[in-house]
A and B are shown apart, each in its own frame.
Chain A
């Protein structure tokens, strides 16, 4: 193949990236995010500190109380520990709030015509009439209400061990919520938390690529011609769609 095929966007990208860092921005990813959601952060220096700017975000969908729950919950689902940053530091709460503005969160990607059978066997898949926005709203209200009814502190003020017990009870379906099956709420929360820990930073999570670095995923490198056959540790750190390097 020619070195100058006009439609080789990858090579174009790499060439431009070299000159554009640190002010690279990208177009919308097609997820319906507004322009403000995809404004690039400045690219990081080669040694990205584990400290991120996750704390500065102001939620658009969640209320103050809901967001306090969400931040506390994601920090227990994927905690900061000796391996490094957790979901909170990765910006998973911010990521989830941003996702609430996408068609996914309003159920627009799913078949949502009735009649609904909420008691269907699990083998028949998702059968609730609730979309992710509703599951969060009802699920968080249910957990906060349960904490109050037990005479406990609000979830985000509880000890880590207490929070873990609440989350485990949701996971097992032992904590019965009025308006949403606890397991459905928990599995959505866990799935979105993992997304916020491991997605490309363009979506607002995985800040500094902290999730990728911990497991050895190289992100958007996507060229392993010389590595396919080698039983060796892949030595290069991740890059992101925006051209950030960890």
Chain B
């Protein structure tokens, strides 16, 4: 039997970005808050201290900061007719573990959102007609607009200490010729810090895309271009392009993380407690099933404990939020055959394409230099910035050089046709390691009726509970968009006059490959929306069915974005927290009538 602990006002499951933001907001509102993090305590010191953290084998290769699959993983199949098999080794995506979550090891590309992507279905229907959207594509509107979210994007950037160049501020153009993005929506303020320097690879991308008539801009980066103190008093030092960014703790205190930017402030308040090594098994509901009473978790000693709470925030990684809802009986599980139910629907990803360019020895890209959020991008093919009519696919893609730093075990790429071993491999590696660049088409990914999440009938975690099952494959729209984008990217590469290029795009009928790293940008499964028949959460990230459960995170996205998700995740979390503080706490109940 579980021991029951003293009741708190709010319990937060998971302490990554969304958990940290919610903890800060709810403690500011005077609530007694407990955050339960299943992984260990970890912080810049000692876990990210120099020189121990400058260790590719331990971090990138053995994946020290990522999800511990020995305890819990997901299963994956391509269609409902297949048997799902476990994701036994980390490959396609790399969720985090421990305090800070994926926010400790992320890269730091910190975008907002293209406004049309918040009203994806409405926008496409208005511009191209209903029949333009494939029948099995289940894209939806988020139910919130860019204008509503703008103050929260603005505040999140101040918390993160984001470097970048505005295009317009309050309608006035300020970014022309300075690295601003002419496709970016209006802002209420400039970025807190100026753009980072551009590495040589990014300079080459800037020159090539300018020559082709595109509109290159500096990537907004949550790696600092200078020293910074955020609104919570947290201090950051300037990024030194050390190249050990994505997959690592930032030893320079330059990459925004829950640990650097929010936790120091939470440590100062008496009404917050963070419990590490606390693995939540389920949300407990009362007999009506319309109200949560708290959560049950396992502590470091294996004891089962019940933490009662008035308010439950599911702030775990995208698929863990969905799994906890399914394990707890919150919301109706999605059935793709009947196209009914909400929990698990609209599971979407990122539609990546990559082109690498290899140069002669007079071009020094020095790929060990890098910063995770740094780079130059174009949005000429992102969102709906070009006419999709002649091309017949839904979705867009930013393209960029985002040189986060590549190291020799995992980061060696050679021209196509190079053997994988022997003297020829060795010579190519010596010839090209510091004379190459990599570009991505970071394509938006749409949601489909057949791509969804549910509980696996066979495989279980270390606690005996069913694993989450992903049913997911690339659809025709994805492959056609990817081929279009990779073609554009190849032409950009050719404009750099390289010795050779390598093109990594999708082939017709290609299946989702779980072994090959793509991104950790998983979306959906517990989506927000305006209709309880097609969304699990209302526009404030509140469960339609259980009003004292809120579920922030990319699990709320009805489809994937062209941009990286963290900026929108953070803004939506602040938006949801504001609704809790200003509306829910005064009158607990549904914030939107079902």
Q: How large is the interface on A (under 10, 10 to 19, 20 to 34, 35 or more residues)?
A: 35 or more
Q: Complex: how many Å from CA A243 to CA B51?
A: 9
Q: Which residues does chain B contribute within 8 Å of A7, judged by CB atoms?
A: 44-45
A225 within 8 A of B: yes
Tell me if B515 is interfacial: C-beta within 8 Å of chain A.
yes
Chain B, 80-96, contact with A by CB distance < 8 Å: what is the 0/1 string? 00010111110100000
Q: Chain B contacts of A171 at CB under 8 A?
A: 420-421
* A-contact 0/1 string along B338-355, CB 8 Å cutoff: 000000000000000000
Contact with A along B54-69 (1 / 0, CB 8 A): 1111100111100011
A-contact bits for B404-435, CB 8 A (1 contact / 0 none): 00011100100000001111011101100110
Q: Which residues of A contact B242 (CB under 8 A)?
A: 222-224
Tell me, rounded to whole Å, the shortest Cβ–Cβ distance linking A33 to chain B.
Answer: 11
Tell me, yes or no, whether B400 is within 8 Å of chain A by CB.
no
How far is it, in angstroms, between the C-alpha of A234 and the C-alpha of B125 when the chains are bound? 53
A10-B50, A228-B197 known; A110+B89 contact, CB < 8 A: yes
Taking CB atoms and an 8 Å cut-off, the chain B residues in 204-235 that contact chain A are: 227, 235
Query: Which among A115, A125, A225, A231 is the interface contact of B241 at CB below 8 angstroms?
Result: A225
> Which residues of chain A have C-beta atoms less than 8 A from B425's C-beta?
78
Contact B57 A200 (CB under 8 A): yes
Shortest B275–chain A CB gap in Å is 22
When distances are taken between beta carbons in the complex, the residues of chain B under 8 Å from A193 are 421
Report the Cα distance A111→B66, complex, angstroms: 13
Contact, CB under 8 Å: A224 / B57: no
Query: How many residues of B sit at the interface, in one of the four size bands?
Result: 35 or more
> Is there contact, CB below 8 Å, between B420 and A113?
no
Task: State in angstroms the CA–CA spacing of A27 and B459 once bound together.
Answer: 38
Contacts of A198 in B (CB 8 A): 56, 407-409, 412
A126 with B200: CB separation less than 8 A: no
What chain A residues lie within 8 Å of B86 (beta carbons)? 111, 113, 127
A214 touches B426 (CB 8 A): yes
Q: Determine whether A182 belongs to the interface, using a CB cutoff of 8 Å to chain B.
A: no
What sequence of 0s and 1s flags, for each residue 183-209 of chain A, a beta carbon within 8 Å of any chain B beta carbon?
000000010011100111011000000
| Interface residues in A1-54 (C-beta closer than 8 Å to B) | 1, 7, 9-10, 13, 26-27, 29-31
**Residues in B whose Cβ lies below 8 Å from that of A232:** 364
Q: Shortest Cβ distance from B441 into chain A, in angstroms?
A: 21
Identity of the chain A residue whose Cβ is nearest the Cβ of B46 in the assembled complex: A9
A123-B514, A171-B420, A215-B429 known; A195-B88 Cβ under 8 A: no
Residues of A within 8 A of B (CB): 1, 7, 9-10, 13, 26-27, 29-31, 76-79, 81, 83, 86, 104, 108-113, 115, 117, 120-127, 164, 167, 171, 190, 193-195, 198-200, 202-203, 211-212, 214-220, 222-225, 227-234, 241, 243
Q: 9 tightest CB-CB pairs across the interface, nearest first? A: A10-B50, A222-B242, A9-B49, A198-B408, A125-B515, A215-B433, A220-B54, A225-B240, A224-B241
- A sample of 24 inter-chain contacts (CB < 8 A) reads A7-B45, A10-B49, A76-B421, A77-B422, A109-B62, A109-B63, A109-B89, A111-B88, A113-B459, A120-B85, A122-B513, A123-B512, A194-B412, A199-B56, A215-B412, A215-B430, A217-B407, A220-B54, A222-B251, A224-B369, A229-B200, A231-B200, A234-B434, A241-B52
B residues contacting A by CB (< 8 A) are 44-46, 49-52, 54-58, 61-64, 68-70, 72-73, 76-78, 83, 85-89, 91, 197-200, 203, 227, 235, 237-238, 240-244, 251-252, 363-364, 366, 368-369, 371, 407-409, 412, 420-423, 425-427, 429-430, 433-434, 458-460, 511-515
